[in-house]
């Protein structure tokens, strides 16, 4: 059970950062993950008065505040158009609408969860995590860092021209995924992010491909095999390493073909 002694709704981010430096204090997002643990917390730090619950779109980028919910990601028209529906596809099976109405982007990035559909989708885009202390950090670097006592303020996605598709394998809708996969083409290179291996998402680039956006079924099949051969897979209650490797090559192939069709 989660036990909280004191609750503070902060009025600025510096106050939140200072409070968060104490080991027994925590930032709270939607609290879905936190409430699963058994923990005694001194001060729960709530960022919900800081106006960080919006998605701002400009010509060049999206700025997604850390208190934005997964449901907002799912329903944002600009993100939907930019990703060809891939972000919506990535979050639509996360538990249910009521859950997504409160689960936050900050909590989803901070956890760097192996099973994360959210991390997988954003790894396949030109994404940056804005941390209060560390500043602007590329998503790959952020994902490789251990969770610390910094605060995620917002996420920035640069609007590089993008073709993208998202696919995941689940035993049942709304269950944790067996494998997550986002494939995209931007800056002249194919990107494949695969997560829930069960380790967190990693990206393999198709730099060897000289076909550009125009991919054939054969290119996609080979890219699927290439990506699967360059990643490590593990076993858990949801599937074996061998099964995941096979699924990965198939999902990468299908997602690449789908992204190619969206041009």
Ligand X SMILES: Cc1cc2nc3c(=O)[nH]c(=O)nc-3n(C[C@H](O)[C@H](O)[C@H](O)COP(=O)(O)OP(=O)(O)OC[C@H]3O[C@@H](n4cnc5c(N)ncnc54)[C@H](O)[C@@H]3O)c2cc1C
Q: How far is the CB of 134 from ligand X (least distance, A)?
A: 11
Q: How far is the CB of 95 from ligand X (least distance, A)?
A: 5
Q: Do residues 227 and 252 make contact, with C-beta atoms less than 8 angstroms apart? A: yes
> In whole angstroms, what is the distance from residue 89 CA to residue 262 CA?
14
Is residue 179 within the footprint of ligand X (CB under 6 A)? Answer: no
Is residue 117 within the footprint of ligand X (CB under 6 A)? Answer: yes
**Which span sits near ligand X by CB under 6 A: 28-36, 210-218, 225-233, 242-250?**
28-36
> In whole angstroms, what is the distance from residue 19 CA to residue 45 CA?
8
Nearest residue (CB) to ligand X, 26 versus 227: 26
Contact mark string toward ligand X, 139..178, x via CB under 6 A: ------------xx-----------------------xx-
Q: At what angle do helices 241-261 and 217-229 cross, to 10 degrees?
A: 140
Those residues whose C-beta lies under 8 Å from the C-beta of residue 144, and which sit 6 or more positions away, are none
> In whole angstroms, what is the distance from residue 173 CA to residue 40 CA?
33
Contacts to ligand X from residues 78-107, by CB under 6 A: 94-95, 103-104, 106-107
Within 10 angstroms of residue 168's Cβ, the number of other Cβ atoms is 24
Q: How many residues bind ligand X (CB under 6 A)?
A: 30
> In whole angstroms, what is the distance from residue 223 CA to residue 201 CA?
17
Is residue 41 within the footprint of ligand X (CB under 6 A)? Answer: no
One residue of 17, 115, 128, 166 binding ligand X per CB under 6 A: 115
Two structure tokens written together for 141: 């670097």
Two structure tokens written together for 215: 């991919």
| Residue owning tokens 């859950």 | 99
One residue of 57, 111, 199, 222 binding ligand X per CB under 6 A: 111
> In whole angstroms, what is the distance from residue 12 CA to residue 229 CA?
47
Nearest residue (CB) to ligand X, 4 versus 31: 31
Nearest residue (CB) to ligand X, 141 versus 218: 141
One residue of 10, 19, 28, 192 binding ligand X per CB under 6 A: 28
Nearest residue (CB) to ligand X, 65 versus 260: 65
* Chain mean position to CA 97: 18
Query: What is the contact surface with ligand X in residues (CB under 6 A)?
Result: 26-34, 36, 66, 70, 94-95, 103-104, 106-108, 110-111, 113, 115-118, 151-152, 176-177
């Amino acid at each position: 059970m989660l036990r909280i002694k004191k609750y503070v709704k902060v009025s600025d981010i510096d106050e939140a950062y200072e409070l968060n430096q104490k080991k027994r204090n925590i930032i709270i997002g939607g609290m879905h993950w936190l409430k699963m643990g058994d923990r005694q917390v001194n001060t729960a730090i709530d960022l919900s008065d800081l106006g960080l619950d919006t998605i701002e779109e400009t010509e060049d980028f999206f700025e997604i505040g850390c208190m934005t919910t997964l449901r907002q990601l799912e329903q944002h028209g600009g993100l939907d158009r930019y990703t060809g529906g891939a972000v919506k596809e990535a979050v639509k099976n996360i538990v249910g609408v009521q859950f997504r109405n409160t689960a936050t982007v900050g909590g989803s990035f901070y956890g760097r969860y192996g099973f994360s559909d959210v991390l997988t989708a954003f790894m396949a885009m030109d994404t940056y995590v804005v941390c209060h202390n560390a500043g602007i950090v590329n998503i790959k670097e952020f994902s490789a860092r251990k969770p610390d006592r910094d605060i995620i303020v917002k996420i920035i996605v640069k609007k590089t021209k993008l073709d993208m598709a998202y696919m995941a394998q689940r035993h049942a809708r709304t269950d944790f995924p067996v494998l997550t996969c986002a494939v995209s083409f931007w800056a002249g290179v194919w990107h494949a992010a695969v997560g829930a291996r069960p380790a967190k998402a990693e990206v393999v680039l198709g730099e060897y491909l000289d076909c550009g956006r125009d991919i054939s079924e054969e290119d996609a099949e080979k890219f699927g095999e290439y990506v699967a051969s360059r990643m490590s897979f593990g076993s858990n209650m949801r599937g074996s390493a061998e099964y995941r490797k096979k699924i990965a090559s198939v999902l990468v192939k299908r997602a690449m073909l789908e992204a190619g069709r969206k041009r």
